[in-house]
Amino acid sequence: MENIGYLAAFLTTIAFLPQAIKTIRTRDTSGLSLAMYACLTVGILLWLLHGIHLGDYALIGANSVTLFLALPIFVIVASNTLAERRRLRAAQEAAQKLDSSL
């Protein structure tokens, strides 16, 4: 069963790698949800802490690597989301000023 745990940890971690590489390279997060990545990142951190508590090397290794990959994506998604909200707010304010000047 221990080998199954290591195999599961390897597969779930390696499955995350293509998304991490693509997002970090392109910085395109248009299809990614900030709420989902926030939950995912916190969940990975909690699994890591659980693995440390249990001394389970499969949990520790997999969640350490996945957190290392998820954290930069979360930061990029958060940054892009906040920038988009600022752009929308600025556009709304500009439209209101234009409307009020007419």
Provide the whole-model pTM: 0.77
Query: 55 lies in which domain range?
Result: 2-101
CA triple 86-90-94, angle to 5 deg: 170
Whether 2 shows a pLDDT value over 90: the answer reads no
Distance CA(70)–CA(11), nearest Å, equals: 16
Q: Which long-range contacts (CB under 8 A, 24 or more apart) does 79-88 make?
A: 80/27, 80/29, 81/29, 81/34
CATH number for 70: 1.20.1280.290
pLDDT tens by residue, 15-72: 888 988 999 999 999 889 999 999 999 999 999 999 999 999 888 998 999 999 999 9
User: How many domains does the structure of the chain reveal?
Assistant: 1
